[in-house]
Structure 1
Amino acid sequence: MSEPVNPQQTSAPALSTRQVIGLEAPEGSDWGVVHGQQYALLQERVKVRIGLHLTSFLLVAVTLYGSLPTVVLGLWGLALLVAVGFASRSDLGLGDADNRFIELAEMKSHAMATGTKGAVWSAGMLACAWLADPASVVLVWAVVAMLVVASSASRFGAPLSSIAFTLAAGAGGFAASLITAQYGLAVVVLMTTLLAIFGVIESARIRVAARLAESAMQEKSEVVSMLLREFEEGQADWLWQIDPRRRLKSVSPRFAFSLGKQPSEIEGESFLQLISGDGWKTGRFPPSLHELADKLKRKKNFSNLVVRVSIDGQDRWWELSGTPIVDEMGTYQGFRGVGSDVTEQRESSEKIEYLARYDTLTQLPNRRMLNEALGEALKYAAEWRSRCAFLMIDLDRFKAINDSLGHLVGDRMLGEVAARLKSLVVEGEVVGRLGGDEFAVVIRDIANRERMDTLARDIIQRLSEPYHIENQVLYVGASVGSALGPRDGRTVEELLRNADLALYRAKGEGGGMHREYEPSLHANAEEKRQLEHSLRNALERDEMLLHYQPVVDATTEEIVSFEALIRWDSADHGFVSPGKFIPLAEDTRLIVPIGTWVMQEACREAADNWPTNIKVNVNVSPEQLLETDFSATVVRALSDSGLDPKRLEIEVTESIFLRDASVARNALEECMALGCSVALDDFGTGYSSLGYLRKLKFSTIKVDRTFVQGAAQQSPESIAIIRAVVAMADSLGMTTTAEGVENEEEAEMIRSMGCTKIQGFHFGRPMPRDDVAGVFTRRAAEQRLKSA
């Protein structure tokens, strides 16, 4: 529905000439509808217009017969008949214009049809000027002037079309007057034409303004009717009235319906008794009902008072407004007011409030409510000089279950975790879900640390027990980090941060344990933050470099390859241990650009400075393998350096099978298709990947140094594992590399077990590129001496 138009805005001064005749629409009005009402009137006077034009022509024809050639008169009449028929057809075609939106193109088309009639009359006047007596021009113009006046004064005409007819007819009359040298007549014709056009515009201005005002009033009337209808049909509000004794009077049907009664049943009954239900007998009223009774007693206005009432044993919520009634003498006569049932709105608000404060999956308090509870606990601790505690809980190995069995199983497990946690807390403790697989407990008043330690141990033990979900037995663990307030933080944010730091430490130490916050954790976190900041700029500052450790043939002890190992010489922190910055790079995904740089630099070094029979081994992170363009990164490194793909061996760890194994497998297979080989590093350190040894054709299995050191100490388990790995690799056509060999005895032991390659300090520590060049120089000199 369009916005109502103010009639004052549609008065003559507010409308331009183009707007009045329909060539332009004021903003915010249904202009086509307004003009459509005018154009729809045209069909009502079609026959009158036809008769008027034909009668006028007959009058002219009779008068000019004999002075104007008959052929000209006949052609004139025929042309006028066609023009009148064409215009009449256009009139009839607009008969429904008041029921639709009339387009500007339709207005112009009708104006052209009407203007054609004026053009025919003009042509006749010009014919008279050339072929008949000049006085005949005066006669014809008198008839045409009558038609012009009729067109401009009639309410059954369209302004644009009337102007078109007047201009067309007036142009012919003016030209004919000049041709016959009747200059006075020319002035009369010109003035008549201009005045007629002005009259059309002004009368149209009045009619359009009236239609706009009528449309606005009608629209307002419709809006009011609609609102009244909605009020009557909606049954959302009702009137109520009580006498000085608070008894109902003049009960309306709608109010009676809200009470579930007939008006006659409750007329004169106690208002408060009717809405209090069983509370009237027991004397137990909701606080809101007490408030209503107090306002009625004090005889004061009130509005939007939400009261809980009881109707037929069902609790409802009413919103009441009331005003005391006072007669001419100032005597109190009771109360009158309006009310509405807002039960649904109240329940919706309560539901929204619940959703805002509780987790929908576990029905536990959510992060917002936990923050509020922790804030109240801190205030309580500050007021009573006591202590509160915050325990942050994270599930161990939950992601693997969620990824492998699906979110439905994961959600059911989280629901079971929530139930177990609820059974462990006591009064004064709030357990909730922070999000994901993180939960928390707020202890409002902790008298001694034993409760915190005991609760943490109980949580870890209870959550580590088996879960029976969909005929499967599943296991997860739990890690707990805790912080005490106000000792470890005087604000909610500080306690959350410090408990999170303690949890991070518990997870970093293997999980399944409880760690309390210590100030050193904050120092470590700050150090980590500074390291991360420096690491983000390390490549741009050219602070990264590569060292290379040789890998030798177990039998000949000839170097077969070098493993590229990254080092960081930070301008801010000096040399940073790989054990410190590589996990940080993994966590922040900086390992992806760093790994790309390592790949490019190692390939370039091997191609430019090493013998063609020496391979380069490059370690690749699981994060790199998950990149969609990893194989393209390898191709660019090989292409830019010119290194033969057969000289590049990519080393991956078993952890790639914990992520998206199919993506990692596809990436490695693409690299193998290029001619590169792939080695499985740190084999046997804790992940089950035997199935992937069959699916993915590794070239080498690298035995972790822990097994080599164990075998050197005659550990039966380590010896058995190495022998098993060697036997399995031989059967699958793979080579084996033993890592961490530090002396000749260990090297001899590895040879006896059948390993094909050896890597360790005994054959060389990681060295800079210049030292690698020295190794090749010495080897070449030794070869020359042997050959000599």
Structure 2
Amino acid sequence: MTGFVTSLLTDHKPADDVSARALMGLSPRNEDGGDLRQLQLAPLRGKGKLRLWMGIGMALVAAFTMVTRLPWGLAGGWLTTALLFSLWSSRSFAVLPLGDPKLSSASIFRLCHRHALYSALLWSAPFWFEGVSPTLGHVLSLWPIALLMMLTLAMVAHSLPLACALFILPVSLSAAAALVLAGAPQLAVIALVAGLLLCGFCVRFAQNHIRFRRAEETLHEKTETVSLLLREFEETSADWLWQTDNSRRLVHVSPRLAFAFGASPDALEGMPLLQALAGDAWETGDFPKSLHDLAERLKRRESFSNLIVPVTIGGKPHWWELSASPRLDDQSKFLGFRGVGSDVTEQRASAEQIARMARFDNLTGLPNRLSLHEDLGRALAHAQGMKARCALMMIDLDRFKAVNDTLGHPIGDQLLAQVATRLKSLMGSDMTCGRLGGDEFAVVLHDVSSAAEAEAIAHRIIAVLSRPYVVDNHQLFVGASIGYAMGPHDGATVETLTRNADLALYKSKDKGGNVVAPYVASLHAQAEERRVMEQELRGALERREFELYYQPVVTAEDGTLNGFEALIRWNNQTLGNVSPARFIPLAEDSRLIAPIGEWVLRNACAEAMRWPSNLKVAINVSAEQLTDPNFASLVVSALAQSGLPPQRLEIEVTESVFLRDGGGAAQLLDQLIALGIRLSLDDFGTGYSSLGYLRKTQFSTIKVDRTFVVGAAKGHTESIAIIRAVVALADSLGMATTAEGAETEREVETIRSLGCSNIQGYYYGRPMPAGEVLTLFRAPEPRSSAAA
């Protein structure tokens, strides 16, 4: 707004000069139309009496001069004529609307020219009252009076150069002619030149007058526009204008400004601006820093813009944004300040809310990652300066994803809020907790004496976070894994300490949860090994480094071969033979399990077609694969491509698949069952709620984990009871049971005695390549119970 007003007042071009022909009315009518005639006639308005008394006075002076040389009658007759002409001319112009833009001025313009010509004839006559041979003394006595008359007319009517010329030129020519006849040609030339110069000056004066008047009108129009804009701004805008004098006191207080202050204009008029802004703090002098800044700018008389100052109005805090510039007069004298202000309280509150949202977690109200990193930076700086220690703990909730997937995100969010509340209750004055995202939290210990103290705090956090939670009538159990790093010993920068604490957290999660793990240097080597393994794993399929091995599954009653379980092996040229226990979890984390699993599925189905038709092939499927809704289509494609009947394919899953996506895996497994594919539940009894899964999904086989097999062979009653219960449950549901990991004859006999349907283990055969499997069919040999 201020810039627009300034541009209106300053960004204009000077008026161009008007041509002499246009001023004298000699140009075509359309060359310079508009207000030119009104501007020329306007200076004559209100000067009728001046012209009358000037004409009468000059006529009397001329008559008194002539009476000494001419007869009284001639001089008196001329005087009478001059006086009557002056009265008549004055009366003629008195009733005319000189310079009125609403009326046509062409006739008035012509009238001025006629009166000028009549006056020229009247004042030219006295030079010839002595005849065609006038005396030099007579001419010289009249010439100064005539010259004075010409000068006076040029000053009064300079805006009408043609009228001036119609008077000056005839009088000058008459005087010059009389001087020539009186024997003074040199004086005649001077008189003629004087007349011409005076006419030229009248034209120039008229041009300057028109240019000045036009510039004045332009400025007046822009000033009016500015006034209208400012008036509209005051009436319609939420902002307001303010102004001070050279003593920094408020002047010309508008109603809107008074309303903003909550006072009357009279009460604010003359009050120092700083006093009005400071309110009650004016007496104590306890001003905010921004008011001190404003005072300095006012003192230095410098412009300022968008300066935010606090104001208390009616006991409520407000924030105003002020901008102003100093006012100077034509002599650059300081007059005060003029500016604009607005109430930005709501905008500032919004900005503060946005800033808070950028630094705090919306769900839990805890500091977010940005705030924690800043706090950790301060803790590190203090520890380095004071030769002390600090610590960063990374916390990851155990089993949280199962809650989120089975009960939904709203329940998960409420659980996270309760976790945050418990975490905050443990914080001391030198501790800060925050949420990094998801189910991951962190704690910054500003001053910790030793790693043992940090570990004790971590165990206390785990104990508190592991207590049961109640959310919407659901009793929930989650634990916590914690990894921590000590600063500055384990990292002198925020990035280094955060990375090392994260490595420690990864180690604690690998240990199974509810574990505290400190950072040790060897974790870097493990992380590097993991990075290299992932890099190699990404190209393993293209390099054909994977191979399928097959482990026999036999009937428990007579040891008859009834199928194989396909097991993947990885032989890398850099890492050598890598155990599936190492690379399968990595493949799941890096989302490489889907292409690897597809390769296993297609190759196992194709290889099974080379076996006798009564043998099945079992394939382990990761929970990550079952989250893909297209997995059923992939299985159908693999069966169609290989020609393997669906009943010869068995899909083995673990209970973890039911914890991934809240029902999606069960629906996909139902689709596979509908195709005729057999399902096997692996590692039964080691998970969370297997009975519930058996009720929901029609498994064909339950696999008993090796731990129970070993326990039962050693006579452990718990293991024996579990296997008997599983066998009884499977029989009642029409399912088979397969005991895993049978390696000795005692274990095999124990499994048979407990009623398991099938046996799998080293006793009957280790996993073997596809070529060795085919040799079993080419050269079959009778198998006994003691065969290896």
CA contact (8 A) 2:244 2:273 kept: no
How do residues 210-229 of structure 1 correspond to structure 2 at under 5 angstroms?
A: 229=232
- Matches of 2:506 and 2:256, distance apart in 1: 63
Gap runs ≥5 in structure 1: 1-220, 784-788
Residue number among 279, 282, 292 corresponding to 1:280 in the alignment? 282
Partner of 1:728: 729
Partner of 1:490: 492
Partner of 2:775: 774
Residue number among 583, 586, 590 corresponding to 1:584 in the alignment? 586
Establish whether residue 515 from structure 1 lines up as the match of residue 517 from structure 2: yes
TM-score, scaled relative to structure 1: 0.67
Q: Offset of 1:740 from its aligned partner?
A: 1.1
- Over aligned residue pairs, what C-alpha RMSD do you find? 2.8
CA contact (8 A) 1:237 1:341 kept: no
Partner of 2:719: 718
Partner of 1:561: 563
CA contact (8 A) 1:392 1:480 kept: yes
- Matches of 1:472 and 1:669, distance apart in 2: 28
CA contact (8 A) 2:406 2:659 kept: no
Establish whether residue 696 from structure 1 lines up as the match of residue 701 from structure 2: no
Tell which deviates more after alignment, 709-718 or 354-363: 354-363
CA 1:449–1:232: 2 relative to 1, 3 Å: same
Partner of 2:688: 687
- Matches of 2:548 and 2:226, distance apart in 1: 80
Which letter does structure 1 place at the counterpart of 2:668? A
Which letter does structure 1 place at the counterpart of 2:627? L
How do residues 539-688 of structure 1 correspond to structure 2 at under 5 angstroms?
A: 539-608=541-610, 610-660=611-661, 662-688=663-689
Establish whether residue 463 from structure 1 lines up as the match of residue 494 from structure 2: no
Partner of 2:351: 349
Q: Offset of 1:223 from its aligned partner?
A: 12
Partner of 2:239: 236
Tell which deviates more after alignment, 334-343 or 415-424: 334-343
Which letter does structure 2 place at the counterpart of 1:738? A
CA 1:450–1:551: 2 relative to 1, 3 Å: closer
Q: Offset of 1:542 from its aligned partner?
A: 0.9
CA 1:301–1:366: 2 relative to 1, 3 Å: same
Partner of 1:129: none
Residues 352-383 of structure 1 show CA distances to partners (whole Å, capped at 9, x for unaligned) of 21121111222221112222222333334444
Partner of 1:176: none
How do residues 369-518 of structure 1 correspond to structure 2 at under 5 angstroms?
A: 369-518=371-520
- Matches of 1:677 and 1:411, distance apart in 2: 38
- Matches of 1:313 and 1:628, distance apart in 2: 62
CA 1:425–1:313: 2 relative to 1, 3 Å: same
CA contact (8 A) 2:705 2:739 kept: yes
Q: Offset of 1:298 from its aligned partner?
A: 4.7
CA 1:476–1:732: 2 relative to 1, 3 Å: same
CA contact (8 A) 1:481 1:504 kept: yes
Which letter does structure 2 place at the counterpart of 1:534? E
Which letter does structure 1 place at the counterpart of 2:624? E
- Matches of 1:397 and 1:282, distance apart in 2: 60
Which letter does structure 1 place at the counterpart of 2:689? S
Which letter does structure 2 place at the counterpart of 1:394? D
Q: Secondary structure at the match of 1:779?
A: coil
TM-score, scaled relative to structure 2: 0.67
Partner of 1:708: 709
Which letter does structure 1 place at the counterpart of 2:591? R
Gap runs ≥5 in structure 2: 1-223
Tell which deviates more after alignment, 458-467 or 433-442: 458-467
- Matches of 1:489 and 1:224, distance apart in 2: 66
Residues 553-594 of structure 1 show CA distances to partners (whole Å, capped at 9, x for unaligned) of 111111111111111111221100111011111222222111
CA 1:462–1:453: 2 relative to 1, 3 Å: same
- Matches of 1:282 and 1:468, distance apart in 2: 54
CA contact (8 A) 1:275 1:311 kept: no
- Matches of 1:702 and 1:452, distance apart in 2: 43
- Matches of 2:234 and 2:779, distance apart in 1: 102
- Matches of 1:600 and 1:687, distance apart in 2: 32
Which letter does structure 2 place at the counterpart of 1:678? L
CA 1:552–1:250: 2 relative to 1, 3 Å: same
Tell which deviates more after alignment, 248-257 or 675-684: 248-257
Q: Offset of 1:282 from its aligned partner?
A: 3.9
CA contact (8 A) 2:480 2:514 kept: yes
How do residues 723-762 of structure 1 correspond to structure 2 at under 5 angstroms?
A: 723-762=724-763
Q: Offset of 1:486 from its aligned partner?
A: 2.6
Which letter does structure 1 place at the counterpart of 2:357? L
Which letter does structure 1 place at the counterpart of 2:290? S
Residues 134-182 of structure 1 show CA distances to partners (whole Å, capped at 9, x for unaligned) of xxxxxxxxxxxxxxxxxxxxxxxxxxxxxxxxxxxxxxxxxxxxxxxxx
Which letter does structure 1 place at the counterpart of 2:732? S
Percent identical pairs in the alignment equals 56
- Matches of 2:698 and 2:742, distance apart in 1: 26
Q: Secondary structure at the match of 1:319?
A: strand
How do residues 34-73 of structure 1 correspond to structure 2 at under 5 angstroms?
A: none
Residue number among 248, 251, 269 corresponding to 1:249 in the alignment? 251
Q: Offset of 1:530 from its aligned partner?
A: 1.0
CA 1:465–1:280: 2 relative to 1, 3 Å: farther
Partner of 2:532: 530
Q: Secondary structure at the match of 1:660?
A: coil
Q: Offset of 1:705 from its aligned partner?
A: 0.5
- Matches of 2:518 and 2:357, distance apart in 1: 32
CA contact (8 A) 1:309 1:318 kept: yes
Which letter does structure 1 place at the counterpart of 2:747? E
Q: Offset of 1:234 from its aligned partner?
A: 0.7
Partner of 1:62: none
- Matches of 2:627 and 2:458, distance apart in 1: 37
Residues 306-350 of structure 1 show CA distances to partners (whole Å, capped at 9, x for unaligned) of 211212211111222345566788876654443322222222222
Q: Offset of 1:482 from its aligned partner?
A: 1.2
CA 1:567–1:521: 2 relative to 1, 3 Å: same
- Matches of 1:618 and 1:226, distance apart in 2: 82
Partner of 1:367: 369
- Matches of 2:439 and 2:660, distance apart in 1: 18
Q: Secondary structure at the match of 2:482?
A: strand
Q: Offset of 1:446 from its aligned partner?
A: 3.3
Q: Offset of 1:727 from its aligned partner?
A: 0.7
Partner of 1:46: none
CA contact (8 A) 1:488 1:517 kept: yes
- Matches of 2:470 and 2:646, distance apart in 1: 50
Which letter does structure 1 place at the counterpart of 2:491? G
In our comparison, the structure showing a higher alpha carbon Rg is: 2
How do residues 67-146 of structure 1 correspond to structure 2 at under 5 angstroms?
A: none
Residue number among 267, 270, 276 corresponding to 2:269 in the alignment? 267
- Matches of 1:703 and 1:564, distance apart in 2: 18
CA 1:475–1:669: 2 relative to 1, 3 Å: closer
Which letter does structure 1 place at the counterpart of 2:525? A
